[in-house]
Amino acid sequence: MAEVEDTLKRIQAQHGVIGTIVVNGEGIPIRTTLDNSTSVQYAGLLHQLTMKARSAVRDIDPQNELTFLRIRSKKHEIMVAPDKEYLLIAIQNPSE
Amino acid sequence: MSEKQPQNESNLSEKTVVLRRARLNAATSSLMRFSFKECCFKPVADEPDIEIEGSLVHKDSEEGQILCAEKEVGRKSKTLFSCITTATQTTINPPREVACQTESQPLLVNYSATANQWEIYDFYQEELQKRTSSTKKDEKENEIAEGAEGVHGNLSLLRDFTDKSDHDLAMLSTAAKLLEYAVNENINGDIIADFKHFEDEADEFRGDKGTLLPLWEFQYNKVKSLPVSALCWNKKYNDLFAVGLGSHKFTELECGMLLFYTWRNNNHPEFLFNTDSGVMCVDIHEQKSHLVAVGLFNGNVCVYNLMAKGDQPIYNSMASSGKHSGTVWQVKWWEDDLYGNHTFFSVSADGRVVSWTLGKYELFSTNIIKLPPMDKVPDDLNNVIVTAGLTLDFHKQKPYHFLVGTEAGKIHKGSTHYTRFIKTYEAHFRMVSCVRWNPFNPKVFITCGMDWRVNIWDETTDSPVFTFDLKSSVMDVAWAPYSSTVFAAVTADGKVHVFDLSINRFEALCQQRVVSTKRHLTCIEFNPVHPIIIVGNDRGLVISLKLSPNLRKNPKEEKGKEPSTGAEVEIAKMEKLLILMR
């Protein structure tokens, strides 16, 4: 438990990381370093996208699973690490 | 009305016809009917009282005559009365209404679901599990292993976990790790690109010389003062390496650390173990890469299991009776013994080489050999003043042969079969800091010592084949895994020297300062797969460097021949050099 907390703290302290969000199985952020409205928005949208991505991966080969999802945009990169029912989201500015 | 006639005999035989007529008494011949049209009463003709429709036609009427005529001819006529078809004979049933009424439908519920391939697959897996668990009746089948197959789509797991109200974040450790790797990848993007793709093109113009490109730096913030005493790559997972931190100077801190880093996260170690004494040497088992043997400054050896949770080693020689009384300078894993137990050897400052076997609950030690005393020690003090063994290496092809380097500057070649040393080499004037067998050629080994020298030996001769003077105490030397003639050494003045004997037999191809002048370099290791080396300094810093192409060259082949690789070629290369030097 403390290990995960430490890891999250380290990730947040890294260079260029804008925020981290932990989302539960229903798409509700349970731990976040961003403000509430942004967190809820990110959580809801990325939750759906992750479900879709996971469905796509497993549809092609049911023995496969989604391990990581990265969305690189012009301004920053959104990284999603799905777990059994949680989602870990980190937003980073890679070029800095 | 009949007239009454007298009844006599003649009348009785007479037949008379009596006509009876039916006639309504009430209906008289003087019927009058009111006609509304003319508004007056009119006499009604004697009409028949009953009218019934029939199919008879009067013979004398028009129709009747036609019919008679046709009947004589014999033709069927189709008049209204004599036409007989199915259409005329079919009775048409009057229309009837028949209705059906059902009971009212039950309440409609909207249901929607998706039937993807993975949902079907998951369902089948569940069924299969249920069936196997019911037939086996084994409790352990139902245990849900963390990170097992079907992690994301396992519906029963999902149902179980969403019911839990507490947020158990401990399950997120894998995801958190992946995220950290990804974040670090973004930060170190240029380093990773260099590692994968950068090949220094200036090497073509430099002749034979090469350079080392610094890549990642690994420093754990809390141990700035502990020197790196040991490095070891994991053979199975090529990005993982072990760093042992500990000091052998009495003035410094009496604690140590064992860290495991991967270049995917150079910020924070993957595994971290605190030891109560400085770590002097580390070795990772070749096949079971979760077993790590560690030798400590206080003479203990420990074995850690990376897969076990917790900070404590699974085996510790503290309680063992055969434990070392001096600093353990080198540990090396060996083959499993006859019963399949893992074994490792250790050499320590108390002059003994001991083999340790991993029993069920504890380590069993076996004294292999005792190092012969130094020349200057008088005979009666042999057991008191011991020669410290500083380094140990097993032969790659003949695992029962090993070499031990001592503080007296000697190298002893021994075998596990014998209790005495087979051969002794006078290697250095001062302490031998490292001895290693050549990974390809079975006769060659390299030694380095505090007398500034690096020597390359052929085991059959008594004097070194090659000698290099590096102008500063040589702390560690390592052979390259890809070539039998390439090796690298680190010195106390912070330089890394890389040699390739097949290209240049007298001087280094690269002599590069990697750390600042005040710091020493203490260890060096080549990655088994990639062309990078890691070096450790005396302040807990580990730097990884990439070898430039000149340092990795294969010797030029004759024109027309294909470049050949492989162990035989490497052995032959070395042989050629040895023959030259004789």
The complex's ipTM works out to: 0.89
Q: Report the residue of B120, B152, B164, B272 to disrupt the A interface, i.e. the one with the largest count of A CBs within 10 Å.
A: B152
d(CA B489, CA B454): 8
CATH number of A2-63+74-87: 3.30.450.30
Which tokens in the block code for residue B76?
Answer: 């069927």
- The pTM for the full model equals 0.71
Which pLDDT band, with edges at 50, 70 and 90, does B165 fall under? Answer: very low
d(CA B263, CA B241): 9
Q: Is the pLDDT of residue B74 over 70?
A: no
B228 within 8 A of B543, measured Cβ to Cβ: no
Higher model confidence: residue B203 or residue B143? B203
Question: In the block, which residue shows the tokens 């699974």?
Answer: B314
Nearest CA-CA partner of B288 in B270, B301, B304 = B304
- Which residues in chain A are contacts of B183 at CB distance < 8 A? 11, 14, 17, 79, 90, 92
Q: Are A11 and B180 inside 8 Å of each other by CB?
A: yes
Q: Report the residue of A83, A86, A93, A95 to disrupt the B interface, i.e. the one with the largest count of B CBs within 10 Å.
A: A83
| Average pLDDT over chain B, rounded to an integer | 79
B349 within 8 A of B389, measured Cβ to Cβ: yes
Find all residues with CB under 8 Å of B317, minimum gap 6, and list them. Answer: B300, B301, B302, B323, B324, B356, B363, B365
Q: Is the pLDDT of residue B150 over 60?
A: no
B415 within 8 A of B390, measured Cβ to Cβ: no
Q: Are B176 and A11 inside 8 Å of each other by CB?
A: yes
Residue pLDDT tens, chain A, 96 long: 778 888 888 889 888 899 999 998 888 898 899 999 999 999 999 999 999 999 999 999 989 999 999 999 999 899 999 988 889 999 998 765
Q: Are A63 and B149 inside 8 Å of each other by CB?
A: yes
Which pLDDT band, with edges at 50, 70 and 90, does B7 fall under? Answer: low
- Would you list the domain boundaries of chain A? 2-63+74-87
d(CA A69, CA A78): 8
A5 touches chain B (CB under 8 A): yes
Per-residue pLDDT at B41: 85
Per-residue pLDDT at B563: 46
Nearest CA-CA partner of B302 in B228, B241, B356 = B356
**B301-305: strand order across its sheet:** B279-284, B291-296, B301-305, B315-316
